Amino acid sequence: MLKNYAVTQKIDVIDLNPIIADKNQVLLDKYTTDGVHINDLGYKLWSDEIKRKLRKYKI
C-alpha cells in the first residue's frame, strides 16, 4: 500500500525488506539471531542500501 502511494506521488521508497527476507517476508537466518530482529550483517546490508540511495540523490 505504501509503495503504491509512493509511486502515485513520485516518491522513491527504500524497501529494505527484500534484501534480508525471503519471498514470504520471513527474515533469512543469516540476517537474524532470533527470527525477529536483524543482526549486524542485516544492519550492514540496510546501511549499504540506504547509502546507495543517498548517493543516487546526491544527499
- Chain segment 40-49, per-residue pLDDT in tens: 999 999 999 9
Report residue 57: phi and psi, to 5°.
-100, 10
With CA atoms as reference, report the closest residue to 14 among 59, 50, 51, 48: 50
Q: Kindly list the averaged pLDDT for each block of 10 residues, start to end, along the chain of length 59.
A: 91 91 96 96 96 91
With CA atoms as reference, report the closest residue to 40 among 49, 30, 50: 30
pTM: 0.76
Number of domains, the chain: 1
Task: Judge whether 2 lies within some domain.
Answer: no
* Domain encompassing residue 24: 13-56
Q: In the numeric block, which cell numbers belong to residue 26?
A: 520471513
Residue 21 pairs with which residues in a beta bridge?
27
Task: Judge whether 29 lies within some domain.
Answer: yes
